[in-house]
């Protein structure tokens, strides 16, 4: 391969295709990329950014192969690649589609002095950071990715004098730093995604926050979209937690009272974008964050699917799913939830139906209500009389699932509460003293209620045991000596005649 002489240097931040086009014009006086073929380099391989082809051109032109490769955007039929990232076709522009007239005039007087910047090839790049001006657009549309020639000096001077000034935003600088591989402070969220994904999430989030859930970003002007994206960038660069807060703000914009799984109603087109984007360029880490956001605020059952992931464990209950799980009438359930402090007292019907409760907090309640035993079932389960059962409840020796109150209706006792009392009974010493007194007699002799006697036994102030056999309340026996002591305490010393 013959080297090209004289040398033509690579411009600062010049794109590889611009360099090849400039070499062609410099050495052959023609437009296009003919020089690549003249050097017997495979043009297809060069455009695909294949190392051997790009490096061969660099060698022939006497410039650094590594530098030229770093300025190459690889072209494939369905996507582009840059910096090891896959990009959508429309995320990349051809050389010459946008340019800063002032930069080109500063490059030199000859057309071969003027070169296309790599940065100008990226769709979200609107401004020249150096001149603080909106880039000019080529008059003609490119065919494919074929480089477009720049206008002549008089037209460039006219464009430069009319360029619209604009202050570059931190987002503009971030894009430039990513493209030019400069060190940057972009936060953990942006660091986990491609440049295109990061730009897109800023655009979708910003446009939604600025223009509402139904925003269609293609209907916004370039400036509107850039403004919204730059605002969202300030949030997104702070990391995952800030993104989650922004999703909460988006969700708060929804006035929908749609039931579960109507995520579109809550997150608008932002959700649609995350849901529908796939293929070569997915939406990136926003998908996981949005899914987590939905799961934390929506009652989802087993088998429901959120953004491509099937729910394997219910994490939230809504009033509706809780009503089904407990088999309680929604009205009674609501009173119960308020009584237990799980739902706020003063929320209206609509808000109540939108409330969700962590499964962990309501799981035990569901189970307790599901297996609850009414007062009338206690004598059979605890081996006592109805009057004794009532005394136990009155004294608080056994507690209902929901404290009594208006609208609560029937008072029920959780199965685990009954089990707790039974296992306590089982733990009492087993003996059959001849002088033991059962609870019915003990209550009559001491004028104490069954509940008070049991509390005394539990606290160790009254000595008692149980008969062998089933650990029922009827099997309890209290020592006679303790009965006498209690008689003295409750009735005073016997009066001598
Ligand atoms: Zn410029």
Task: Pick 239 or 280 by higher pLDDT.
Answer: 239
Q: How far is the CA of 391 from the centre of ligand 1 (A)?
A: 89
Cα–Cα nearest to 157, from 180, 181, 141, 136: 136
Report the separation in Å between the CA atom of 272 and the middle of ligand 1, taken as the mean of its atom positions. 37
Measured N-to-C along each axis, helices 240-252 and 195-211 cross at an angle, to the nearest 10 degrees, of 30
Q: Is the pLDDT of residue 54 over 80?
A: yes
Question: CA–CA separation, 357 vs 347, rounded Å?
Answer: 14
List the structure tokens of 417: 């509460």
How far does the centroid of ligand 1 lie from the alpha carbon of residue 422, in Å? 85
What pLDDT is stored for residue 297 in this prediction? 82
- Tell me which range, 84-88, 97-101, 143-147, 409-413, is most confidently predicted by mean pLDDT: 97-101
Record the tokens describing residue 200, joined without a space. Answer: 């897109």
Ligand 1 center–CA 132 separation, angstroms? 7
* CA of residue 427 to ligand 1 center, whole Å: 87
Average pLDDT, integer, range 433-454: 86
| Residue 99 CA to ligand 1 centre (angstroms) | 8
In angstroms, what is the span from residue 116 Cα to ligand 1's centroid? 11
Choice among 35-44, 294-303, 353-362 with the minimum mean pLDDT: 353-362
Ligand 1 centre distance from Cα of residue 137 (Å): 13
- Answer yes or no: is pLDDT of 98 > 70: yes
pLDDT for residue 7: 78
Q: Given a cut of 50, is residue 42 above it in pLDDT?
A: yes
- Span from the CA of 13 to the centroid of ligand 1 (angstroms): 12
Q: What pLDDT was estimated at residue 349?
A: 67
217 CB-near residues (< 8 Å, 6+ apart): 203, 204, 207, 225, 269
- Mean pLDDT computed over 365-376: 82
Q: Rounded to the nearest whole angstrom, what is the distance from the C-alpha of residue 129 to the centroid of ligand 1?
A: 7
* Residue 357 predicted with pLDDT over 90: no
Average pLDDT, integer, range 139-164? 89
Write down the residue that tokens 């099937």 correspond to.
Answer: 310
Contact, 281 vs 89, CB < 8 A? no
CA of 111 to the centre of ligand 1 (A): 16
Task: Give CA torsion, residues 205, 206, 212, 213, to 10 deg.
Answer: -10
* Residue carrying the six token digits 């460039």: 156
Cα-to-centroid distance, 187 and ligand 1 (Å): 28
- Mean of pLDDT values over 476-497: 77
Distances (CA, A) of 284 to 188, 255, 321, 385: 13, 28, 32, 66
- Cα of 123 vs centre of ligand 1, distance in Å, is 17
Residue 71 Cα to ligand 1 midpoint, Å, equals: 18
190 Cα: distance to centroid of ligand 1 (angstroms)? 27
pTM attached to this predicted model = 0.70
Q: Kindly compute the dihedral angle of the four CA atoms of residues 324, 328, 333, 335, in this order, to the nearest 10 degrees.
A: 170
Q: What is the pLDDT averaged over residues 309-315?
A: 77
Which range scores top for mean pLDDT: 122-136, 348-362, 472-486? 122-136
Render pLDDT for 193-218 as a digit per residue (tens, 0 to 9).
Answer: 999 999 999 999 999 999 999 999 99
- Measured in angstroms, how far is the CA atom of residue 101 from the centroid of ligand 1? 7
pLDDT at 261: 45
CA–centroid distance, 373 to ligand 1, in Å, is: 80
Give the percent of the chain with pLDDT over 70. 94
Distance 285 CA to ligand 1 centre (A): 34
> Residue 160 C-alpha to ligand 1 middle, in angstroms?
9
Locus of tokens 């997150």:
267
Cα-to-centroid distance, 171 and ligand 1 (Å): 17
Q: Which residues contact 393 (CB under 8 A, 6 or more apart)?
A: 375, 378, 400, 411, 413, 451
Compute, in angstroms, the gap from residue 138 CA to the centroid of ligand 1: 15
Q: Are 256 and 171 in contact (CB under 8 A)?
A: no
Is it the case that residue 119 has pLDDT exceeding 90? yes
Distance 363 CA to ligand 1 centre (A): 63
Rounded to the nearest angstrom, the distance between the alpha carbon of 162 and the centre of ligand 1 is: 13
Distance, CA 105 to ligand 1 centroid (Å)? 9
361 Cα: distance to centroid of ligand 1 (angstroms): 60
Using the mean position of ligand 1's atoms as its centre, give its distance from the Cα of residue 15 in Å.
15
Find the 106 Cα to ligand 1 centroid distance in Å: 9
Beta bridge pairs of residue 66: none
Determine the average pLDDT of the residues in 320-341.
78
Mean pLDDT to the nearest integer, 341-345: 77
Looking up tokens 């081996």, which residue turns up?
A: 383
Ligand 1 centroid–CA 199 distance in Å is 22
Residue 181 CA to ligand 1 center (angstroms) comes to 19
What tens digit of pLDDT does each residue of 417-426 get?
888 988 888 8
Q: How far does the centroid of ligand 1 lie from the alpha carbon of residue 276, in Å?
A: 37
131 Cα to the center of ligand 1, angstroms: 4
Alpha-carbon span 379 to 392, nearest angstrom: 11
Report how far ligand 1's centroid is from the alpha carbon of 489 (Å).
100
What is the residue-averaged pLDDT of the chain?
87
Q: Tell me the per-residue pLDDT of 371-417, one tens digit each, with 9 for 90 and over.
A: 888 888 989 888 999 988 888 888 888 888 887 777 677 788 888 88
Ligand 1 centroid, distance to 197 Cα (angstroms)? 26
CA–centroid distance, 16 to ligand 1, in Å, is 19
pLDDT digits (tens, 9 = 90+) for 224-277: 999 999 999 999 999 999 999 999 999 988 876 555 447 888 899 999 999 887
60 to 36, 132, 177, 397: CA distances (angstroms): 10, 36, 29, 95
Structure tokens of 399?
């507690």
Interatomic CA distance for residues 309 and 324, integer angstroms? 24
- Find the mean pLDDT for residues 1-26: 86
The rounded distance, in Å, linking the Cα atoms of 442 and 361 is: 41
> Greater confidence, 437 or 322?
437
> CB-hemisphere CA count at 13 Å for 30?
8
The residue extents of the domains of the chain are 16-162, 185-310, 316-370
Q: What is the pLDDT of residue 497?
A: 41
Cα–ligand 1 centroid distance for 121 (angstroms): 14
Whether residue 6 is preceded by a cis peptide bond, meaning omega within 30 degrees of 0, is yes
Least confident segment among 80-84, 98-102, 432-436:
432-436
How far is the CA of 381 from the CAs of 271, 364, 420, 464, in angstroms? Answer: 53, 21, 12, 21
pLDDT at 46: 93
135 Cα: distance to centroid of ligand 1 (angstroms):
8
Show the tokens assigned to 494.
């016997």
3-state secondary structure the chain: CCCCCCCCCCCCCECHHHHHHHHHHHHHCCCCCHHHHHCCCCHHHHHCCCHHHHHHHHHHHCCCHHHHHHCCCEECCCEEEECCEEEEHHHECCCCCEECHHHHHHHCCCHHHCCCECHHHECCCCEECCCCEECEECCCCCCCCCCCCCCCHHHHHHHHHHCCECCCCHHHHHHHHHHCCCCCCCHHHHHCCCHHHHHHHHHHHHHHHHHCCCCCHHHCCHHHHHHHHHHHHHHHCCCHHHHHHHHHHHHHCCCCCCCCCCHHHHHHHHHHHHHHCCCCCCCCCHHHHHHHHHHHHCCCCCCCEECCEECCCCCEEEHHHHHHHHCCCHHHHHHHHHHCCCCCCCCCHHHHHHCEEEHHHHHHHHHHHHCCEEHHHHHHHHCCCHHHHHHHHHHCCCCECCCCCCCCCCCEECHHHHHHHHHHHHCCCECCCCCCECHHHHHHHHCCCHHHHHHHHHHCCCCEEECCCCCCHHHEEECHHHHHHHHHHHHCCCCCC
């Amino acid at each position: 391969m013959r080297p090209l002489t004289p040398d033509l240097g690579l411009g600062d931040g010049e794109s590889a295709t611009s360099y090849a086009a400039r070499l062609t014009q410099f050495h052959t006086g023609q437009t296009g990329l003919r020089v690549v073929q003249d050097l017997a380099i495979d043009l297809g391989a060069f455009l695909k950014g294949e190392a051997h082809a790009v490096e061969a051109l660099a060698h022939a032109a006497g410039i650094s192969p590594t530098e030229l490769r770093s300025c190459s955007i690889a072209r494939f039929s369905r996507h582009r690649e840059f910096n090891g990232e896959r990009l959508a076709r429309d995320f990349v522009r051809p050389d010459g589609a946008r340019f800063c007239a002032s930069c080109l005039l500063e490059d030199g007087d000859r057309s071969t002095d003027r070169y296309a910047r790599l940065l100008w090839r990226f769709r979200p790049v609107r401004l020249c950071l150096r001149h603080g001006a909106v880039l000019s657009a080529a008059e003609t549309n490119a065919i494919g990715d074929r480089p477009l020639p720049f206008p002549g000096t008089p037209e460039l001077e006219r464009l430069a004098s009319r360029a619209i000034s604009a202050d570059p935003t931190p987002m503009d600088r971030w894009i430039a730093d990513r493209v030019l591989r400069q060190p940057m402070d972009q936060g953990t969220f942006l660091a986990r995604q491609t440049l295109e994904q990061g730009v897109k999430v800023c655009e979708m989030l910003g446009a939604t926050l600025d223009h509402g859930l139904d925003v269609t970003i293609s209907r916004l002007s370039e400036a509107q979209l850039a403004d919204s994206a730059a605002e969202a960038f300030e949030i997104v660069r702070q990391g995952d937690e800030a993104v989650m807060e922004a999703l909460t703000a988006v969700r708060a914009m929804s006035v929908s009272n749609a039931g579960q799984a109507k995520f579109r109603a809550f997150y608008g087109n932002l959700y649609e974008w995350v849901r529908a984007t796939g293929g070569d360029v997915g939406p990136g880490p926003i998908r996981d964050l949005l899914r987590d956001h939905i799961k934390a605020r929506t009652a989802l059952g087993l088998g429901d699917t959120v953004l491509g992931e099937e729910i394997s464990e219910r994490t939230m209950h809504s009033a509706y799913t809780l009503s089904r799980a407990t088999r309680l009438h929604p009205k009674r359930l609501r009173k119960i939830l308020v009584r237990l402090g799980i739902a706020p007292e003063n929320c209206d019907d609509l808000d109540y139906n939108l409330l969700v409760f962590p499964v962990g907090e309501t799981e035990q309640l569901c189970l307790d209500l599901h297996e609850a035993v009414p007062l009338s079932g206690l004598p059979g389960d605890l081996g006592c009389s109805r009057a004794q059962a009532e005394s136990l409840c009155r004294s608080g020796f056994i507690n209902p699932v929901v404290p009594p109150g208006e609208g609560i209706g029937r008072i029920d006792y959780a199965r685990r509460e009954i089990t707790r009392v039974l296992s306590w009974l089982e733990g009492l010493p087993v003996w059959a003293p001849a002088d033991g007194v059962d609870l019915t007699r003990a209550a009559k002799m001491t004028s104490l209620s069954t509940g008070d006697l049991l509390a005394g036994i539990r606290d160790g102030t009254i000595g008692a045991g149980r008969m062998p056999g089933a650990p029922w309340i009827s099997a309890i026996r209290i020592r006679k000596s303790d009965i006498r002591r209690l008689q003295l305490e409750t009735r005073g010393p016997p009066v001598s005649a």
